[in-house]
Amino acid sequence: MEIDQTTYDDLSLISDGNEFSVFQKMDLTRTHIGREHLRRLFMNPFSDLQRIRETQQILSLIASRQKAWPMVITNGTIMVMEKFYETVLDRIPDGSLIGALAYKLLHAPSFSLLRYSVRHFADFVADFYGLIELFDDPGTPLAMRSRLERARRLLEMGPVSSLAKPLGKKGLSITETVKIGAYLRDRFRDTAKELIEIYGRLDAWFSMSMATEHLELNFPEFIEQEKPVLETESLRHILLEKPIAYPVKLNEKVNFLFLTGANMAGKSTFIRAVGCGVFLAHLGMGVPAKSMRLTPFDGILSNINVEDNISKGESLFFNEVQRIKHTLVKINKEQRWLVLIDELFKGTNVEDAMKCSITVIKGLIKIRRSLFVLSTHLYEIAEELRSFDNIGFKYFETSVVDDQFDFSYQIRDGISNDRLGYLILKREKVVQMLEEL
C-alpha cells in the first residue's frame, strides 16, 4: 500500500516528535531491534491480500500462545550481544584448561566481559529455542515458520547449541566459557547478527499481537472484488481515550461521502478514524471497530493539515492546489485509493473556494474504483451535488442552548446548516470586548 509522508503526518501514524502517534500506541516491543522491525512494517503496509491474511494468522497464533512466550530476552540482552562484537578484547586462547586459567588470571578484564557476554548469549539461545519449540507445528504460517526454521539451523552450528541447556547456578566452567566465547567472537558474528534480525521480526509480531488484544481490536474481513467497499460498525479513533463510535458505509454505489458540521463537531476526528482503521487493516492488525469489511486498497492519500510555506513564498491556497494536483496524479481509474480531504481551499475567499470545490468534487466523483471522504464548511455547494447518485451526505449535529454548544459527535444523514462562528465570538466574550473598546 502506498502512503506518502503527508498522509503519515495527517493521520499521526508515525511521529518522531512530541506528538503521540499510532505507532507509539502499538509499540509493545521488548527490544530496539523489534521496534525497528515494527517501524519498517508501519512504513510498508501491504496491498497483497495473501500477506495481510498471513499476518492476521500469525498475530492470532501468537495471541493464543502468548502466556508461553519466553520472556528472558530483553533489550539489554540484545545490546550486550551487539556490544560484544564492538568491544576490543585481549586475544582469546584455545579451550584448554591451562589456556583458560591463564586468560582468567592474566587478562581478568577481558575474561570478565567474556563471561558476562556468554551468559547473555546463553539467555538468547535458550529463549530462541523456546520460541522454536512453541511454534513447531504445521499450522504455523509460512512467514513465521521459515524464520524459525532458519533460526534453528543457525543455532545448531558449532558449540552454541549447548547454551540451550540449563546452566544451573554454577553456570559454565572456565574452560567452557573460553571455548564458546572464542567461537562466538571469531566465527559467530554474522550468524549472531542474522539471529538478532530474525528475533526483531518476531518481537514486532508479538507487539502487534499484544496491541490487538490489549486495545480490544478486531480483525477485519477483506473482500476480493474489483469494486471498492468499506463498511464498519462502531469504528473509533485509536488515539482517543473516550472515542465515539461511528458507522461507515462506502461502496461502488456511494463511493463519495460529503461531510458537513460545525467546527469541533467531530468531522476531522471521523476522517482520521477512517484513515487509521484502514491503515491498521493493511498491516494485518486488528482495527478499532466492532467489525470492518473492506477491499484491499492500493494507497491512502490525505489532504488535512495543508499549510503555507513562508520560506518558499508559497501561500496556503497554492499548497492546497498542489496537494489536489498530487492526488489527481497518483490516483487513477485502475486502482483503489482511499482519499481523505478535510476542508478544501481554506486559503481563499468563500466564493472562490466554492467554485474550486465544486470543480474538484465533480472531477473526483468520476473515479468509481476509489473511495472519498470530504468535509467542508461550504454547505451551499451541496445542492449542486445532489444530482450525482454516488455521493452520500452526512453531518455532525450540534445544538445550542443559552449560547452553550452541545456536541453529540453523532453522525447523521443529511447536510448541516449550523452557523456558529458569531456565536463562538459571543460566547468567548470577543463581541463584548470589541463593544467596550
Phi (first) and psi of residue 154, to 5 degrees? -65, -40
Pick the range with the lowest mean pLDDT from 171-175, 211-215, 231-235, 249-253. 171-175
Q: Which of 113-122, 188-197, 264-273, 365-374 has the lowest mean pLDDT?
A: 264-273
pLDDT value at position 121?
94
- Res 402: pLDDT: 64
pLDDT of 294 higher than 80: yes
Give pLDDT, residue 421.
62
- The number of CA neighbours under 13 Å toward the Cβ of 196 is 23
Span 237-263, average pLDDT: 91
**The pLDDT of residue 339:** 97
Determine what percent of the chain is predicted with pLDDT higher than 90: 65
* All residues at 6 or more sequence positions from 215 whose CB lies less than 8 Å from its CB, including other chains: 25, 238, 286, 288
Of 249, 238, 256, 268, which Cα lies nearest the Cα of 386? 256
Q: Which fold has domain 31-214?
A: MutS, DNA mismatch repair protein; Chain A, domain 3 (1.10.1420)
pLDDT band at 398 (very low <50, low <70, confident <90, very high): confident
- Which pLDDT band holds residue 411 (cuts at 50, 70, 90)? confident
Cα distances from 31 to residues 42, 59, 73, 363, in angstroms, run 17, 18, 8, 48
Closest by CA to 114, choosing from 154, 87, 96, is: 87
Extents of the domains making up the chain: 31-214, 221-435
More confident residue, 160 or 77: 77
436 pLDDT band, cuts 50/70/90, is: confident
**What is the per-residue DSSP string for 202-264?**
HHHHHHHHHHHHHTT-BPPEE---SS--EEEEEE--TT-SSPPPEEEEE-SSS-EEEEEE-TT
Please state, in angstroms and rounded to a whole number, the distance separating the CA atoms of residues 36 and 102.
41
Query: Using N-to-C axis directions, what is the helix angle for 174-187 and 189-214, rounded to 10°?
Result: 90
Q: Which helix (H) or strand (E) holds 319?
A: helix 316-330
Q: What predicted TM-score, i.e. pTM, was given to this entire model?
A: 0.91
Least confident of 42-51, 111-120, 227-236, 349-358: 349-358
Q: Which of 278, 296, 210, 281 is nearest to 55 (CA)?
A: 281
| Sign of the CA dihedral with 69 first, then 75, 76, and 77 last | positive
C-alpha–C-alpha distance, residues 165 and 410, integer Å: 59
Per-residue model confidence (pLDDT) at position 135: 96
User: Phi/psi of residue 119, each to 5°?
Assistant: -60, -40
- Whole-angstrom distance, CA of residue 309 vs CA of residue 214: 41
Amino acid identity of residue 364, one-letter, is: L
The predicted-structure confidence for 315-338, as pLDDT tens digits, reads as follows 788 888 888 898 888 887 678 999
The pLDDT of residue 309: 55
Q: Is the pLDDT of residue 269 over 80?
A: yes
Residue pair 207/28 in contact by the 8 Å Cβ criterion: yes
Confidence of residue 146 (pLDDT cuts 50, 70, 90): very high
Is the confidence at residue 314, as pLDDT, over 60? no
The average pLDDT across 39-51 equals 96
- Structure confidence at residue 2 (pLDDT): 95
pLDDT above 50 for 159: yes
Give SS3 for 280. helix
- Would you state the pLDDT for residue 35? 97
337-345 average pLDDT score: 91
At 417, the pLDDT band (50, 70, 90 cuts) reads confident
- pLDDT at position 406 is 63
% pLDDT > 70, the chain? 91
**pLDDT, mean over the chain:** 89
Position 311 scores a pLDDT of 46
pLDDT at position 187: 92
pLDDT of residue 410: 82
Residue 313 has pLDDT above 50, yes or no: no
Q: Which grid cell is 20? A: 503521540
What confidence tens digit (pLDDT) does each residue in 179-205 have? Answer: 999 999 999 999 999 999 999 999 999
Specify the CATH number for 221-435; select among 3.40.50.12780, 3.90.1150.10, 3.40.50.300, 1.10.1740.10. 3.40.50.300
C-alpha cell at 146: 521459515
